[in-house]
Chains A and B, each alone.
Chain A
Amino acid sequence: QQPVQSPQAVILREGEDAVINCSSSKALYSVHWYRQKHGEAPVFLMILLKGGEQKGHDKISASFNEKKQQSSLYLTASQLSYSGTYFCGTEDVDSGGGADGLTFGKGTHLIIQP
């Protein structure tokens, strides 16, 4: 079942912070985050495995609350280069981290203005 992302779109000024949420109705094994710029392929950001692990690199980080079946992506002090569509992809516990492919949400459009 497709995870639900919110918000659908957000417009920010450069330097502002953003939070993108991803929630599932199923117990999750992992959450994957990707960014896709217009006309380009999705690019991997990070994977979070069940266990509430928080990850990050640069000013982009994410958390995973397995009890709530939710993940949040945090973008701090946003830069123009952060603009794009952010997708979360989930694997549920039933697949056990096996090769069942990722189920992606519909995406969150992020526009950063100067």
Chain B
Amino acid sequence: DSGVTQTPKHLITATGQRVTLRCSPRSGDLSVYWYQQSLDQGLQFLIQYYNGEERAKGNILERFSAQQFPDLHSELNLSSLELGDSALYFCASSVSVNTGELFFGEGSRLTVL
């Protein structure tokens, strides 16, 4: 158990819909990262927040957005869903703003039908 909690574990929805994935980082960790994992692309970095502020952006689509709240939990919002958005979405946390050891949650598996 990494200490990072993600909900929901599984989500099935239709194209065009919007979903929200939630992540609670390890106690004391201020950085939250979101990654997308698909079979052909591996782990793709989406976005990082540190202590409520956006710190880095990766290959995140405009249809996706995220935020980190004052209690440090984070949400990833995916809208206008397409079939290709089906993937495993991981949240990871770390203590500092720099990329040290990442602690990954168990992921949220999104299936878009």
Contact = CB atoms under 8 A, between A and B. Distances in A.
Given A87-B42, A101-B48, A106-B42, A44 B97 contact: no
Interface string A24-50: 000000101010000011111001000
Contact of B99 (A42, A87, A102): A102
Contacts of A84: none
24 contacts: A32-B99, A40-B106, A41-B90, A41-B104, A42-B90, A42-B102, A44-B101, A47-B100, A47-B101, A98-B56, A98-B97, A99-B50, A99-B55, A99-B97, A100-B48, A101-B47, A101-B56, A102-B99, A103-B45, A104-B43, A104-B44, A105-B42, A106-B41, A107-B42
Interface of B: 2, 4, 31, 33, 35, 41-45, 47-48, 50, 55-56, 58, 90, 97-107
